[in-house]
A and B are shown apart, each in its own frame.
Chain A
Amino acid sequence: MSATAPADAATIAADVGAARSSARTVVAEALDRIRRLDGRVNAFTDILADRALARADRLDAAIRGGVPAGPLAGVPFAVKNLIDIAGLPTRAGSKINRDRTPAARDGALVRRLEAAGAILLGALNMGEYAYDFTGENVHDGDAHNPHALDHMTGGSSGGSGAALAAGLVPLTLGSDTNGSIRVPAAFCGCFGLKPTYGRLTRAGSFPFVGSLDHLGPMARSVTDLALAYDAMQGPDTDDPVATARPPDPVLPMLDGGPGGLRIAVAGGYFARGGDPDAFAAVAQIADTLGARRTVELPEAHRARAAAYLITAAEGATLHLERLRTRPQDFDPAVRDRLIAGAMIPAPHVEQAQRFRRWYRDAVLDLFGSVDVILAPTTPCRAPKGGQTHFVLDGTTLPLRPNIGLFTQPISFIGLPVVAVPVWLDAGLPLGVQVIVAPWREDLALRVARYLETSGSCAAPVAELAR
Chain B
Amino acid sequence: MSEATSPFDPEAYAAAMSALLALKLDPTWMPAITANLRVLAAAAELVNGGPPCDGLDAAPRFEV
Contact = CB atoms under 8 A, between A and B. Distances in A.
Contacts of A308: 39-40, 43
B8 to A, nearest CB: 11
B21 A355 contact: no
Nearest to B22: A324
Given A332-B29, A352-B47, A323 B23 contact: yes
Given A339-B18, A341-B36, A356-B59, 9 more contacts: A301-B46, A308-B40, A309-B40, A312-B36, A320-B21, A324-B22, A335-B29, A336-B33, A401-B39
Given A332-B32, A343-B14, A306 B64 contact: no
Contacts of A299: 50-51
A337 interface: yes
Nearest to A344: B40
How large, as a class, is the contact surface on chain B? 35 or more
B25 to A, nearest CB: 7
B58 A350 contact: yes
Contacts of A197: 61-62
A320 B22 CA distance: 9
A414 B60 CA distance: 9
B57 interface: yes
9 contacts: A198-B63, A302-B49, A305-B47, A320-B21, A332-B29, A332-B32, A351-B44, A358-B51, A439-B64
B56 interface: yes
Interface in A293-351: 299, 301-302, 305-306, 308-309, 312, 320, 323-324, 327, 332-333, 335-337, 339-345, 348, 350-351
A196 interface: yes
A327 B24 contact: yes
A360 B59 contact: yes
A342 B24 CA distance: 13
A340 B13 CA distance: 10
Nearest to B26: A327
Given A335-B29, A342-B23, A364-B64, A357 B59 contact: yes
Contact of B47 (A198, A355, A364): A355
Nearest to B29: A336
Interface string A226-265: 0000000000000001010000000000000000000000
Contacts of A344: 40, 44
A430 interface: no
A251 to B, nearest CB: 24
**Chain A to chain B: the 6 pairs with minimum beta-carbon distance, closest first:** A353-B58, A340-B36, A357-B59, A336-B32, A305-B43, A354-B53
Given A357-B58, A413-B62, A438-B62, A306 B36 contact: no
Nearest to B38: A340
B62 A309 contact: no
A343 B39 CA distance: 12
A360 B58 CA distance: 11
Contacts of B51: 299, 355, 358
B39 to A, nearest CB: 8
A16 B34 CA distance: 56
Nearest to B21: A342
A198 B61 contact: yes
A450 to B, nearest CB: 25
Contacts of B23: 320, 323-324, 327, 339, 342
B3 to A, nearest CB: 20
Nearest to A321: B22
Interface in A111-137: none
Contacts of A356: 58-60
B59 A309 contact: no
A21 interface: no
Contacts of B24: 324, 327
B4 interface: no
B17 interface: yes
Nearest to A197: B62
A308 B45 CA distance: 12
A41 to B, nearest CB: 30
Given A241-B61, A357-B56, A343 B37 contact: yes
A97 interface: no
A211 interface: yes
A243 B22 CA distance: 38
B58 A339 contact: no
Contacts of A352: 44, 47
A54 B46 CA distance: 55
Pick from B26, B34, B47 the residue with the most CB of A within 10 Å: B47
B36 A336 contact: yes
A306 B13 contact: no
A447 to B, nearest CB: 20
Contacts of B56: 354, 357-358
